[in-house]
Structure 1
């Protein structure tokens, strides 16, 4: 028998013999049962409206995130107005709140995204743009953002010398990226 069957049998027994709870040998047991049921109900209220399968997956996904990737995940969750807390108690509450939300599935997808998928998505978002839009997007990046983009996507960084310093050659780098994007566009169209 499982707990559900045991509880049904107990309820049936109490309905058939209501004086059973007042019997001297059963009275302490029923008082303990009453306290337990109340505390279970109190805890269960906290989980009302929770999507349980998503809650379980969220807990597992949050455990898999290390501190190195937490900032990136939090950046992706900004569009939902969320931020993963660092404290375990706050994380437990965060998972419950997320599992109650209507967009819980999308939040879970963002948390589960692998770094490679994010890079691929970032690159192909540029491929989908027109040449002029991609060029404008790249031109609007700061030198640091452009250098980081080039490093993330393993594109050779074009540099030039200015006196004793070696600096980023923005135009050559942007042109090289645009050529790669155009090749990718042609490959996907064929």
Structure 2
């Protein structure tokens, strides 16, 4: 076996090994979490019935709740709050309107960088909503009258926050079920999910 053949053989074996390692690394087990963070100020209603009811049904994040998420890089963490939903949402101008038979839905997210690394992303790329039939809808580029859109180029140092609307275009007859948010333009392993209905 000459040196060039040996070099090619070593390179081929290395490529196969790296490919197998990459396949293993890609299959890290994505997770969807709908467990909200505990609220800082809990309302006390008195009596034991509310606490008994709370333990009987698991907490599922809804509008107004915050979910702690991790990104792909060390120190990349966000507290993501689904603040409000406007359905249907009114277009911000007459030039950008939903297609015939569709409507805009606005979802307002608040992002707080709770990590040690700077967060930089286009949050709309990692957001989607699902209807009760299981159809999933990604964000669309549109402004609505409910308020300012989420920036497409968010950069947050640790402790900083961003607030804005992400808009979706869905069929008029669709009934919303959930909203999801994933860091790193949807590439992170952990996804937050909020119940909408």
Fold similarity call, TM over 0.5? no
Compute the TM-score of the two structures, normalised by the length of structure 1.
0.21
Q: Quick check: which has more Rg, 1 or 2?
A: 1
Give the helix-richer structure, 1 or 2. 1
- If asked which structure has higher relative contact order (CA below 8 Å, sep 6+), I would say 2
TM-score normalised by structure 2 residue count: 0.20
